[in-house]
Structure 1
Amino acid sequence: MTVPKPPLRIPSQLLGFFGSAPVTSALTTTIVATIFFTHVIRSTIAWPGLVAILIGLTLCAALSLAARRDELNWQGVLPLTLLLLVGWSAASLTWSEYSRASLTSVLYQLAIAFLAVYVAVARDLIQIVRAFGDVLRVVLVLSLALEILSGLLIDTPISFLGILGNLAGGGPIQGIVGTRNMLGIVAVIAGITFAIELTTRSVPRGVAIGSLIVAGLAFLLTRSPVAAGAAVVVLIASAALIGIRRASAEHRPIIQLAIAAASVVGLFFAYALRARVVDSLNAGGEFEVRYALWQRIIGLTSINPLEGFGWIGTWRTDIAPYFAIDTLNGREPTSALNAFIDVWLQLGIVGLAIFIVFIGLALVRAWIVASNRRAVTHVWPALLLVLIVVTSAAESFALVEIGWFCLVICVVRAAQELSWRRGLRAV
């Protein structure tokens, strides 16, 4: 007769270590830094090194959550739309013709989502903003330093990082995140974060102002039309939120309706005057390339309209149908340059519907919380979601790495603050 083995128990000393406040803070900052440095890590120690780091961080985060399981409030933490989207991505393994690639992509997506959930659950919002601020200062300063080295001092591209050395000509610069559009978007995220730090006085005033100047300089040098358009929308959203937050409680619903109506009218005129908008952003050539790519992809969606080809995240040009999509000005596309079209291609109409509900509901939740809660930190998730939604029309930013990480954090924070399931339990 065999004696059953006792269940595996984690030593209390180990749980105590991972559950401590200093370790939680350090782990949060390390996770945020890893996500923003994924391009650098891949470029230096390749995919195996990045995967090993993510596995280690996932294990550490799991131990930290286990140590703090009794003190954390789990009600409404994981929105059903997030579970549906991740679940549909995983389900696509059953019909994907590149199931092995889909499996690795789904696991990669899940790992980053888990780390984002950990950050959102384990830390207060102001602590998350501080972690982002500390990391983004390093990202931007290092990006500018390497651009100065490449463009002015040695006058040679740093090819393995994708830095072209264009600083002497006023840009565009790519920094350490791979492309000018990505650096421009990161600069906008940094601007939002540094502004919250300045408003909340969570860092010295001089540090916050200096950080904003660095973010603005990096933003201008990218010469990114995508980031420029997103920044305009974020500034308008910021002004709207300031007006709503300063209004009295009884006037806020009327102002919200007026803003919603103005947004619909603005979208209508933006579409009607889209040619002039594109020209004003100096994006004519880039938009034409994107539009041609979208037309090709939409033609492919008719092959598997409901379920899509299977989740892949960042495209792999050695598998169908991605190798069949024409190059863009001599470059092989690694995404659809539109999150919604990308989801449509990979997960079909069903996945697209889930994604639209997922990101739309999160934005509404975060906006309501930012409008009604006194703490100014609640503005941070709302503005990040505005940025993510806008950039999703011109980049697949929301689906992988930095964008997916930020999206999940904002979605989870919004669900924590405004969960309909928690409301049902209270009835």
Structure 2
Amino acid sequence: MTGGSAVAALREFAGSARLAQALTLIAVGLAFSTHAVRSLIGWPGLLAALTALIALCGVSLVARWRAVEWYGILPLTILVFVGWCAASVIWSATPARSAAGVAYLVAFTVLGIYVALMRDTIQIVRAFGDVLRFLLVVSLALEVLSGVLLDLPIVFLGIEGDIASLGPIQGVFGSRNLLGFVALIALLTFVIEWRTKSVQRGRAIASVVIAGISLLLTGSPTTWIALGAALVAALALYGLRRAAPATRWNWQAALLGIGIIGIISAWLLRIRIIEILDARAEFDVRLDVWRELSRYLNQNPLQGWGFVGPWPDRIPYTWIELATGRPHGSALSAYIDAYFQVGVIGAVLFVALLGIALARSWLLASTRRSVVYTWPALMLVVLVVTSFAESFALLEGGWMLLVVCAVKAARDMSWRDALAQARSAAGG
């Protein structure tokens, strides 16, 4: 083979759809298995894998440059929020750690953008389905190995082996709440696969069962609340998709009003809801963290302490952990984490990112014929609700999922187009 033909072959391979598919699977897999990767090969190994993956994605993107539709690829909300996080390095209490945290955030932002650009929505659903199916099966297998066959914890993965007593289990994710979050988005993804007939019926049913078992065994109250919100959203979308186009805008407005009333009611009845879910212990943990955070928020309310992502062993985070008597990797709320790290401005930008992405994806899901458009909307509902009690939406796989959904929604419909289309349907 001559040099020219070898270069042409490499260029063809770099621009192939098969490479894009493989890189998408690896990106999703790495983003949602960071705990397991760190446990096996440490931070240096994870960062090396992440760097190599980004380099390969860059090569693939350059090779497929002309095939990409660049119009509206990035919502401004992502650019502004990430830009504000990057700017926080200037006033950060720990500038070197903030620079590393921003680089880590940007890395998963790049992966999310690559996935959203290279694959259409059904291909993304399939990629998430394949990866999450594998991770849940591995998690359950290791839990059975630890709790039933060996009756010993797998310490380096954080698996305690409690499956014999019906949980809580952690799988390869390091915490029951993260496993619950992954199991929930997997469950919704598997249902979309089933509805779109993109996998065989038997495989879809088995996948739903696996996700359901994982969800039950986590015993995560946060996940149950998010599941309830997702089911309500799914029912609302089911009704909207079958409503006459002329009345759909009125139904949207009615649902918005009902949603606001529901949120206010949930807040007023929060203590009773916590008691029903037997979540008093988890709520008390979060309350302790938020109480300690409030002591430092007043010092930098507008700009925050500087973005760091996962909490480092640095002041003031170590002070908060000492005061609460336990280590924390986050503020246990994405909204409060954003407020603490990048201030009021950053928190507002983060809420705007979530809200605009949800509005766009919701309008798409309620107007497009294919059921696959409901996937981004449901993912964002889960992220919005989970972010009240966990910081997954700011970290690794959760952030990448948010970027993927936001970019896909922005590419398919800008907010101006969405409102114009809805009003046109209502009027005509």
- Paired amino acid for 2:388: A
Aligned partner of residue 250 in structure 1, secondary structure = helix
- Does 2:304 align with 1:308? yes
Measured in 1, the distance between the counterparts of 2:374 and 2:37 equals: 31
Aligned partner of residue 65 in structure 2, secondary structure = coil
Q: Which residue of 1 aligns with 2:424?
A: none
Measured after TM superposition, the shift of residue 12 of structure 1 is: 4.6
Aligned partner of residue 23 in structure 2, secondary structure = helix
- Does 2:109 align with 1:113? yes
> What per-residue deviation string (whole Å, max 9, x for no partner) do you get for residues 227-252 of structure 1?
11110110110010001001111121
CA RMSD between the two structures: 1.4
Q: Which residue of 2 aligns with 1:6?
A: none
Residue pairs, 1:260-279, within 5 angstroms: 260-279=256-275
Q: 1:203 aligns with which of 199, 205, 208?
A: 199
Measured after TM superposition, the shift of residue 375 of structure 1 is: 1.0
Q: Which residue of 2 aligns with 1:72?
A: 68
- Does 2:170 align with 1:171? no
Measured after TM superposition, the shift of residue 330 of structure 1 is: 4.3
Aligned residues: 413
| Contact 1:15 1:63 survives alignment (8 Å) | no
Percent pairwise identity: 49
Q: Which residue of 2 aligns with 1:29?
A: 25
Q: Which residue of 1 aligns with 2:379?
A: 384
- Paired amino acid for 2:65: R
TM-score, normalising length from structure 1? 0.94
Measured in 1, the distance between the counterparts of 2:322 and 2:370 equals: 47
Gaps of 5+ in 2: 1-5, 419-428
Measured after TM superposition, the shift of residue 421 of structure 1 is: 7.9
Question: Residues 375 and 328 from structure 1, CA distance in 2 versus in 1: closer, same or farther, beyond 3 angstroms?
Answer: farther
Q: 2:230 aligns with which of 234, 259, 266?
A: 234
Measured in 1, the distance between the counterparts of 2:8 and 2:91 equals: 44
Q: 1:42 aligns with which of 38, 45, 50?
A: 38
Q: Which residue of 2 aligns with 1:86?
A: 82
> What per-residue deviation string (whole Å, max 9, x for no partner) do you get for residues 118-171 of structure 1?
000100110010011111111111000000011111111111101111111110
Measured in 2, the distance between the counterparts of 1:288 and 1:39 equals: 25
- Paired amino acid for 1:347: V
- Does 2:319 align with 1:324? yes
Q: Which moved more, 1:172-181 or 1:19-28?
A: 19-28
Residue pairs, 1:210-225, within 5 angstroms: 210-225=206-221
Measured in 2, the distance between the counterparts of 1:150 and 1:255 equals: 50
| Contact 1:15 1:64 survives alignment (8 Å) | no
Q: 2:360 aligns with which of 361, 365, 370?
A: 365
Question: Residues 322 and 329 from structure 1, CA distance in 2 versus in 1: closer, same or farther, beyond 3 angstroms?
Answer: closer
Aligned partner of residue 61 in structure 2, secondary structure = helix
- Does 2:16 align with 1:20? yes
Q: Which residue of 2 aligns with 1:414?
A: 409
Deviating beyond 6 angstroms after TM superposition, the runs of 4 or more aligned structure 1 residues are none
Measured in 2, the distance between the counterparts of 1:36 and 1:319 equals: 25
Measured in 2, the distance between the counterparts of 1:375 and 1:274 equals: 36
TM-score, normalising length from structure 2? 0.94
Q: Which moved more, 1:292-301 or 1:266-275?
A: 292-301
Q: Which residue of 2 aligns with 1:5?
A: none
- Paired amino acid for 1:86: V
Q: Which residue of 1 aligns with 2:422?
A: none
Question: Residues 64 and 421 from structure 1, CA distance in 2 versus in 1: closer, same or farther, beyond 3 angstroms?
Answer: farther
- Paired amino acid for 1:391: T
Measured in 2, the distance between the counterparts of 1:206 and 1:22 equals: 26
Q: Which residue of 2 aligns with 1:58?
A: 54
Measured after TM superposition, the shift of residue 71 of structure 1 is: 1.2
| Contact 2:126 2:193 survives alignment (8 Å) | yes
| Contact 1:392 1:398 survives alignment (8 Å) | yes
Measured in 1, the distance between the counterparts of 2:64 and 2:417 equals: 21
Measured in 2, the distance between the counterparts of 1:97 and 1:341 equals: 18
Aligned partner of residue 374 in structure 1, secondary structure = coil
- Does 2:378 align with 1:356? no
Q: Which residue of 1 aligns with 2:421?
A: none
> What per-residue deviation string (whole Å, max 9, x for no partner) do you get for residues 312-360 of structure 1?
00001x2111011045874211110011110111001111111111111
- Paired amino acid for 1:361: I
Give 1 or 2: higher helix fraction. 2
Q: Which residue of 1 aligns with 2:393?
A: 398
Measured after TM superposition, the shift of residue 186 of structure 1 is: 0.4
Aligned partner of residue 176 in structure 1, secondary structure = helix
Q: Which residue of 1 aligns with 2:328?
A: 333
| Contact 1:136 1:190 survives alignment (8 Å) | yes
> What per-residue deviation string (whole Å, max 9, x for no partner) do you get for residues 261-286 of structure 1?
11111111111111101111110111
